[in-house]
Structure 1
Amino acid sequence: MTEDEILAEFRSCDALLEGHFILSSGRHGAQYLQCARLLMDPARASRMAEALVTKIPQNIRRSIDIVVSPAMGGVIIGHEMGRALGLEALFLERPDGTFELRRGFRLKPGQKVLMMEDVVTTGLSSREAIQAIRDAGGDVIAAGALIDRSNGAAQFDVPFFPLVTLDVPSYAADELPPELAAIPATKPGSRAGIPAG
């Protein structure tokens, strides 16, 4: 799939919105990605995972033993990546603010892991997920995401394979450009009830 075809999939299901949004980081932006809308169609989710698998070099693909993703956003695409790779897929949760494996999920010592996200903005939560996987005994050999909205600025100590890289500027509340400040802000994400900070 080309980048234009992938973004057309996002737009067709209102997963890529235009306006004034308060992002989960608290920053403001003119575009908002809601991957859950994209992934609610299992056939579309499968197509996205299959397209991403082709971006991962074969030597890395063959080395992956298991896929681990952070909840909530990464759960569906992590599962689909597991399916596309023919591997099991686990997910991390944050019951007390720190990622951990629960529900009887375990990694074998040294098990080679693909850490899979839906959207990477700053990379902080992905780095926290990678560390949690390592703490659980896994060996993270690559990270993947549907969308890298950092435009390549998010850095990891493993190879990173996004399906699409977008340059989506974000702004602090006191740095809004006039055209964005003129539009009322909405907070459409999964943390909509949490005050922006």
Structure 2
Amino acid sequence: MLKDRLKSLILERSLKIADEPIFRLSSGKQSRYYIDLKQITLDPQGAYLVGKLMYEAIKPLSPDGAGGMTLGADPIAYSVAFVSYMDGNPIKPFVVRKEKKGHGLGRQVEGLLKPGEKVVVLEDVVTTANSSLKAVKACREEGLEVLGVFAIVDREEGGKENVNREGLELYSLFKLSELL
């Protein structure tokens, strides 16, 4: 089963566990657990597994696009785009910059999307969902309809609740508790 293979890869390559909270997360919090999913999403096998599983998760919502904050969401979006194209149901990838470009068209969301199209926001790991919600805000400012947030791993530290407060659902392939 693909999900079991992905879980094995995450446990083997990505999940680090310490006795004390020594890992600083992007949220600023210290944790005993660190999940480096770039060890998976930047690997050919991992990219395929993530792309296939994430595509199957988002397919029922029929989005036009899938993407999120650079850099964590980028390889996920490209994998989903490839798998969706191979399935005859292309979903366009997009990238959300940390801030608007200071030149050219001044875009924050890069991709082949038009206002009014439906998108899902992708994330590798969600803790508080701050970066996911920044991507949601940028998408909405571009006139895109956000259908939900999809993560590989939900650390179960308030992200789901924060996403729910924006009127959206957080879907995840795994919860941290399932990996421990």
Bin the TM-score by the shorter chain: 0.7 to 0.9
Q: Which runs of 5+ in 1 are unaligned?
A: 169-197
Residues 165, 37 of structure 1: CA spacing in aligned structure 2 closer, same or farther, 3 A cutoff? same
Q: Deviations over 1:131-169 (max 9, x none)?
A: 10010111111221111112675232223221111149x
* Other-structure match for 2:32: 30
Q: What TM-score results when the alignment is normalised by the length of structure 2? A: 0.78
Of 46, 49, 52, the residue aligned with 1:47 is 49
Q: Is the 8 A contact 2:78 2:93 kept in 1?
A: yes
Q: Which has the higher contact order (CA 8 A, sep 6+)?
A: 1
1:54 is paired with a residue whose SS is helix
* Other-structure match for 1:90: 94
Q: Is the 8 A contact 1:151 1:167 kept in 2?
A: no
Amino acid at match of 1:148: D
Deviation (angstroms), 1:35: 0.9
Deviation (angstroms), 1:84: 2.4
Residues 76, 153 of structure 1: CA spacing in aligned structure 2 closer, same or farther, 3 A cutoff? closer
Q: Deviations over 1:67-123 (max 9, x none)?
A: 1211011111121122222222010111469x9225xx3531210101111111101
Counterpart CA distance in 1 for 2:146 and 2:58 is 14
1:115 aligns with 2:121: yes
Deviation (angstroms), 1:49: 2.2
Amino acid at match of 1:6: L
1:55 is paired with a residue whose SS is helix
Identity %: 26
Q: Is the 8 A contact 1:119 1:146 kept in 2?
A: yes
Counterpart CA distance in 1 for 2:92 and 2:100 is 25
RMSD: 2.5
Residues 153, 52 of structure 1: CA spacing in aligned structure 2 closer, same or farther, 3 A cutoff? same
Q: Which runs of 5+ in 2 are unaligned?
A: 85-89, 102-106
Counterpart CA distance in 1 for 2:132 and 2:54 is 17
Counterpart CA distance in 2 for 1:84 and 1:120 is 23
Q: Is the 8 A contact 2:66 2:80 kept in 1?
A: yes
More helix by share: 2
* Other-structure match for 1:190: none
Deviates more, 1:149-158 or 1:16-25: 149-158
* Other-structure match for 1:161: 171
Deviation (angstroms), 1:125: 1.3
Counterpart CA distance in 2 for 1:160 and 1:25 is 17
Q: Is the 8 A contact 2:156 2:176 kept in 1?
A: yes
Deviation (angstroms), 1:52: 2.6
